[in-house]
Amino acid sequence: MINLQPYENPQYFVYLLIALLPLIIGLYFGKRYKWYEALVSLAFIFLIFDADKWQQGVTLICYIVYQFLVTFAYQHYRKKTGKANKTWVFCLAVILAILPLVGVKIWPVVPHKQGIDFGFLGISYLTFKTVQVVMELRDGTIKQVDPVMYARFLLFFPTISSGPIDRYRRFVKDYDKAPSREDYIKDLSYAVRYLFQGFLYKFLLGWFFGTYCLPYLEQQAILAGRMHPLHLSWWLLGVMYCYSMYLFFDFAGYSLFAVSISYFMGIHTPMNFNKPFAAHNIKEFWNRWHMTLSFWFRDFIFMRFTFFAMKKRLIKNRNRLSQVAYLVNFMVMAVWHGLTWYYIAYGLYHALAIIINDIWLRFKKKHKLVKHNKFTEAVAIFVTFNVVCLSFLIFSGFLNNLWFNVPLGK
């Protein structure tokens, strides 16, 4: 039995492109073979969860059934009640939608028998999709969810494990029709480009920083920490930059693969990264880094909390309101990553960084301190880059290993 994890080795792409060939030929001639696409998706999802991961596959099936019940029960309620629907029913639907993910995140810190696990690869990104659909049903931006299309949306295998996070309406628009031959040839050119760029990022640069350089730098930092804190600081700086490069190239490469395969299938899955290390400030960074996740949190956490607080008049000052909303947004993001101190610190760090950035921008605008030029832009990019890299060092968990396992100064 072939056990292939998404985008982890060249063998996966050989099987994948062979399987997609009939679909590619059909799209070239203006036909979308939906039944064949569904068959390929199920086959590659099966390959993810075969062998020793079969329990995760069973959990995935149960999860999909559960989310169907939540989504379509809420849709039925919306149709039945119209504008008279109750807010508490909507809140209950959202809570029920995120409940499996909350359970998976809490489970590791709860005493339990070894070997029992209720999670599966991709549960976070599926949850983001289901919560988005429930919220947009409430807003009225989604009028009706089709069961078959909803299953295809959730189980779209190029993005099922780690995103990018697509939106239901955008996905349906692509999936409902086959592109013209001219448009599909453009899609193929982008697909090939993203595929090779993904190989460069993940298998060359990601490997170089993550497998070749990072273990050595971490080992030297631990050894230096036992001798002298000053020596540690230089090696720790190397770990910080190296891990940041690894994190970007590995994840950006994975995302490029997902987008590439989507384009081969005639689906324009959104890009996840847009030169994030060229950002001039931390807010711009989050508009460039893991964009589909960042925009999801912006739309469904930050903006929802802001509107709720304004409606209830919880915080009258707009600047204070945005600051609290940033804290809520990034603390939710931190908890989503995991219930460990370094993830919490990472979320708090970015919330404070954006708050400080907003204060500085308002101060600079009010007093007209600095005019934009190439030098100030270079300084802004340099400072932002280092602020971000420091946050990734916290995020990596290396400091946790260093502080709690290495007797510094001895």
Residue 2 banded pLDDT, cuts 50, 70, 90: low
If one compares 404 and 209, the residue with the highest pLDDT of the two is 209
Which amino acid would we find at residue 168?
Y
Residue 281 and residue 172 share a domain: no
Residue 110 lies in a domain: yes
C-beta separation of 376 from 319 below 8 A: no
Kindly report which listed range (91-95, 225-229, 269-273, 344-348) carries the lowest average pLDDT score.
225-229
Task: Give the angle subtended at the CA of 319 by the CAs of 341 and 284, to the nearest 5°.
Answer: 65
Whether 53 shows a pLDDT value over 60: the answer reads yes
Give the Cα separation of 306 and 209 in Å (integer). Answer: 40
Mean of pLDDT values over 7-36: 91
Residues 170 and 293 in one domain: no
Could you tell me if 86 and 126 are in contact, meaning their C-beta atoms sit under 8 angstroms apart?
no
- pLDDT surpasses 70 at 37: yes
Distance CA 202, CA 204 (A): 6
User: Do residues 38 and 163 both lie within one domain?
Assistant: yes
- Whole-number percent of the chain with pLDDT over 90: 65
Q: Is residue 259 one of the residues assigned to a domain?
A: no
pLDDT the model gives residue 230: 56
Identify whether residues 40 and 172 lie together within a single domain.
Answer: yes
Q: Please say which residue of 153, 176, 199 terminates a domain.
A: 176
Same domain, 161 and 289: no
CA distance 251 to 244: 11
pLDDT attached to residue 407: 46
Give tens-digit pLDDT for 320-331: 999 999 999 999
Tell me: pLDDT of 297 over 70: yes
Q: What is the pLDDT of residue 3?
A: 52
Total tally of structural domains belonging to the chain: 2
Q: Does residue 54 lie within any of the structural domains?
A: yes
337 is an active site residue: yes
* 81's tokens: 């009640």
Structural domain contains residue 172? yes
For residue 191, is it within any domain? no
> Which tops the pLDDT comparison, 56 or 111?
56
pLDDT value at residue 177: 87
Those residues with Cβ within 8 angstroms of residue 296's Cβ, 6 or more apart along the chain or in another chain: 128, 132, 165
Lowest-confidence range among 35-44, 228-237, 238-247?
228-237
pLDDT > 80? residue 126: yes
Q: Are residues 172 and 284 in the same domain?
A: no
> For the segment 214-232, what is each residue's pLDDT rounded down to a tens digit?
999 988 888 876 666 555 6
Per the listing, tokens 């007209």 go with 368
Residue 258: is its pLDDT beyond 90? yes
Are 283 and 160 in a shared domain?
A: no
Who's near 93: CB < 8 A, 6+ residues apart?
A: 70, 71, 73, 74, 134
Q: What is the torsional sign of CA 72, 78, 81, 82?
A: negative
Question: pLDDT band at 404, cuts 50/70/90?
Answer: low
Which range has the worst mean pLDDT, 55-69, 188-202, 357-371?
357-371
pLDDT interval class at 410 (50, 70, 90): very low
Residue 26 maps to a domain: no
- The last residue of one of the domains, among 154, 176, 198, is 176
DSSP-assigned letters across all residues of 151-188: HHHHT-GGGTTT-----HHHHHHHHTSPPPHHHHHHHH
**Given 125, 143, 176, which residue is the final one in a domain?**
176
pLDDT exceeds 80 at position 132: yes
Q: pLDDT tens digit string along 328-362? A: 999 999 999 988 999 999 999 999 999 999 998 88
Task: State the average pLDDT for the chain.
Answer: 89
- Whether residues 156 and 280 share a domain: the answer is no
Q: For residue 62, is it within any domain?
A: yes
pLDDT tens by residue, 142-200: 999 999 999 999 999 999 888 899 999 999 999 988 899 999 999 999 999 999 999 99
Range of the domain at 107: 33-176
For residue 241, the model assigns a pLDDT of 96
Q: Per-residue pLDDT averaged across 388-402, rounded?
A: 91
**Does residue 252 fall inside a structural domain?**
no
54 lies in the same domain as 171: yes
From the list 231, 280, 290, 337, the catalytic residue is: 337
* Local confidence band at 112 (pLDDT 50, 70, 90 cut-offs): low
DSSP at 230 = H
Residue 409's pLDDT is 40
